[in-house]
Amino acid sequence: MKAVAVIPKQPNSAHLVEMDKPNPGDVGCGRGVMVGVLRVGACGTDHEINTGEYGVAPKGYDYLVLGHENLGRVVAVGENVTEFEPGNYVVATVRRPRGTSVYDKIGEQDFTTDDKYYERGISRLHGYMAEYYVENADFLVQIPSAIADIGVLLEPLSIVEKGLKQASDIQERLKIWRPKTAAVLGVGSVGLLAVMALRMRGYTVHGFGLDHREGYLNAELCEAIGATYDSTAETSIAQSTEKYGPYDLIFECTGYSPIIFDAMQALNENGILILASVTGGDRKADQVPSDKINQMFVLGNRALVGTVNANREHFEMGVKDLALCEAMHPGWLGRMLTHKVVGLENFAEAFEILNNTGKYKAIKTYFEVKKI
């Protein structure tokens, strides 16, 4: 079978590899599920792995098969799999509990304190940019066939769901928390999914991005789901509170770290700021009003939390939000799937789009490996 792989740490090494087709017996205890891949999303993480920034090959290989955002159909199951049958649509989670930390041992590998991650398509495990994969049934989540065509959005949505779950867990400290207003900083694919998930929870949502509103599809999508959109080129987050009031919750996913200090000053009392951007650079913020921010956090009982990766429960929460959104705003999620690349052999096309997201105005780029 065909797969798209990179030589980790070697820039622009994406290439096609030929591999043996896996079978359910590759996973022990009869728990293996063989899945035929239908769609695989391609995102900034795949781009960064292909530019050589990070990525680790599995033991015994000099290459790493890419791909973590996935949707497939069950082809065959092991003798001890009762929850799936051939024909079911599934999405696989990404991180595996192979580390030594206590969090790995209790199945909370998204909170691992180990430096070595085991993540399919990213670190030490092959990913889903392949025609087939086999996985333990414990790491697969079923997708109703009615929403299979948007199922490839579940993995990026799981990141948002984990952030929101952490926020609600933390806010239990308040006994009563009735948040009304949220801001989402950065309305790329993850940001738009955050806007959606917050709208599904009944928040008044304000999306922010760098681009001007006119002719910007991401802004149009914010408004189509009942959120506002403002360009930070015109209004800073801190200034925006004059118009929209302070925010009970802010979800940050711009990739531009100095904005977090602005966000801290836009939080309502008892509010929470969720940070979800991976910023690998060495940017420093100056002119940070540290006394003011510190005072606001202390006197206003404000909270700040970082979030990465997701666990099975967050994928399950995401399935519900996808289904609810599709019922309330039919077709909205499908509009996020802007760029389709047909066939894994055309991987160069996908990387061309990922290299130039501004030029292509891509929200979600994905491979159609096989028709749904």
Residues lying near Zn ion in the complex (CB under 5 A) are found at 43, 45, 69
- Of the two residues 69 and 104, which places its CB atom closer to Zn ion in the complex? 69
Q: How far is CA 37 from CA 310, 319, 362, 366, 368, in A?
A: 21, 18, 22, 12, 9
Q: Judged by CB, which is closer to Zn ion: 229, or 366?
A: 366
- Residue 309's alpha-carbon distances to 54, 196, 313, 332, in angstroms, are 16, 19, 12, 25
The nearer residue to Zn ion, 91 or 266, going by C-beta atoms, is 91
CB closer to Zn ion out of 122 and 272: 122
Query: Rounded to the nearest whole angstrom, what is the least distance from the CB of residue 62 to Zn ion in the complex?
Result: 24
CB of 68 to Zn ion, least distance (A): 6
Tell me whether residue 190 or residue 267 sits nearer to Zn ion (CB atom): 190
Residue closest to Zn ion, measured at CB: 43
Q: How far is the CB of 122 from Zn ion (least distance, A)?
A: 9
Q: Are 254 and 276 in contact (CB under 8 A)?
A: no
Taking the complex as a whole, the smallest distance from the CB of residue 166 to Zn ion amounts, in Å, to 19
Measured between alpha carbons, how far apart are the two ends of the chain, in Å?
Answer: 19
Dihedrals phi, psi of 113, to nearest 5 degrees: -105, 5
Q: What is d(CA 207, CA 184) in angstroms, rounded to the nearest whole number?
A: 5
The DSSP 8-state label assigned to residue 340 in this structure reads: E
Q: How far is the CB of 53 from Zn ion (least distance, A)?
A: 14
- From the CB of 142, what's the least distance to Zn ion, in Å? 21
Nearer to Zn ion, 69 or 321 (CB): 69
- Backbone angles phi and psi of 267, in degrees to 5: -85, 140
Burial class (CB in 10 A: 0-12, 13-18, 19+), 17: middle
- Residue 315, helix vs strand vs coil: helix
